[in-house]
Structure 1
């Protein structure tokens, strides 16, 4: 079993609110998560790929919310932007909770490869597919 405790601790603290979108603290939290995933000592390439794909998914959702907020702030957005941003924030928060659950599953002996197909579908179509 690989020690994912630091990654789990960081993932457990991931959440996003409207006020936190496009803040340095949230960007730093995602960067710290990436550093922690890269530091996981394992010879399992599937574990490394899974952690990388999870980070990608969270990054895409956070970036989408950020770009949405920036468009609205610059006057290019409309009321729909705030509604869709709320959906993006909710998707990000569901992903963060799901990441913790997946880490717990892997710590319990589940193979990280079981999550790769869904993450691949998300990478192919992040608008319509959940990670």
Structure 2
């Protein structure tokens, strides 16, 4: 299950927008803002308010917002192409990081199996692969 609050928080932090200023513009305290970020079912209206302030189109992350015509009608924000690319890059970076973590875990498991079963050739190949990656 996706955690809307965490996604919004991550995007706000990556945008570099001050959390203090964001809370101020939303008319809430910083503590309330943090509490909202902890809400897995953060409301779409709040998400759109945040997006309007930081100039980010959250419909890229939550396409279901587009189905809520009552929400879209209130926000006639046009996101410049540069910000669309930045949003795409953030999403790709997140996917890449997740994939890299899985890859590292898998290599650790392979090394463990190689050690337990005395598969010296496999272990040597994994070590060589890791050395090539750190050099390149």
TM value normalised by structure 2 = 0.30
Considering Cα pairs closer than 8 Å and 6+ residues apart, tell me whether 1 or 2 has the greater RCO: 1
TM value normalised by structure 1 = 0.31
Larger radius of gyration: 2
